[in-house]
A and B are shown apart, each in its own frame.
Chain A
Amino acid sequence: MENLWLIIGKADNVPIVMMIPLFAYYSWLAFKQATANDRLIADGKYSELQEEGKDRIFTWPLLTRNEFLCAILIMVILTVWSVALDAPLEQPANPAKTPNPSKAPWYFLGLQEMLVYFDPWLAGVVFPTLIIVGLMAIPYIDKNPKGNGYYTWQQRKFAISTFVFGFFALWLMMTFVGTFLRGPGWNFFMPWDRWDPHKVVAMTNVDLHQFFGIRSSLAAFFFGGFVVTAYFSLGALFYYWKRNAEFFKKMGPVRCGILIFLFLSMISLPIKMILRWTFNVKYIWVTPWFNI
Chain B
Amino acid sequence: MPAFFDKMKNSLLKTQVWKSMFRHGYEDSPRNRYLQVLDNVWLHLHPTRIPRHGAYIRFTWCMGGITFLLFLVTAVTGVLLMFYYRPTAEYAYNDMKYLEFDVPFGMFLRNMHRWAAHGMVIAVWLHMFRVFLTGSYKPPREFNWVVGVILLTTTLLLSFTGYLLPWDQLSIWAVTVGTNMARAAPLLGHEGPFGPELGMKPDNDMRFVLLGGTQVGPPTLLRFYVLHCVFFPLFLAIFIGVHFWRVRKDGGISGPL
Contact = CB atoms under 8 A, between A and B. Distances in A.
A136 B37 contact: no
A138 B137 contact: yes
Contacts of B115: 15, 78, 81-82, 85, 87
Interface size class of A (residues with CB under 8 A): 35 or more
Interface string B178-196: 1011111110010111100
Nearest to A58: B33
Contact of A60 (B37, B52, B96): B37
A233 B156 CA distance: 34
A89 B51 contact: no
Contact of B149 (A105, A121, A135, A152): A135
Contact of B146 (A53, A85, A139, A146): A139
B209 to A, nearest CB: 15
Contacts, number: 271
Contacts of B113: 87
Interface in A81-131: 81-83, 85-95, 97-99, 102-105, 107-108, 111-112, 119-121, 123-126
A269 to B, nearest CB: 16
A71 interface: yes
23 contacts: A12-B118, A15-B119, A29-B58, A55-B52, A58-B34, A61-B36, A70-B69, A74-B69, A81-B115, A83-B111, A87-B107, A88-B170, A93-B93, A95-B216, A95-B217, A102-B173, A103-B177, A120-B192, A125-B181, A125-B182, A139-B141, A144-B138, A290-B192
Interface of A: 12, 14-15, 18-19, 22-23, 26, 29-30, 33-34, 46, 49-50, 52-64, 66-67, 70-71, 74-75, 78-79, 81-83, 85-95, 97-99, 102-105, 107-108, 111-112, 119-121, 123-126, 132, 135-136, 138-140, 142, 144-152, 156, 160, 163, 167, 289-290
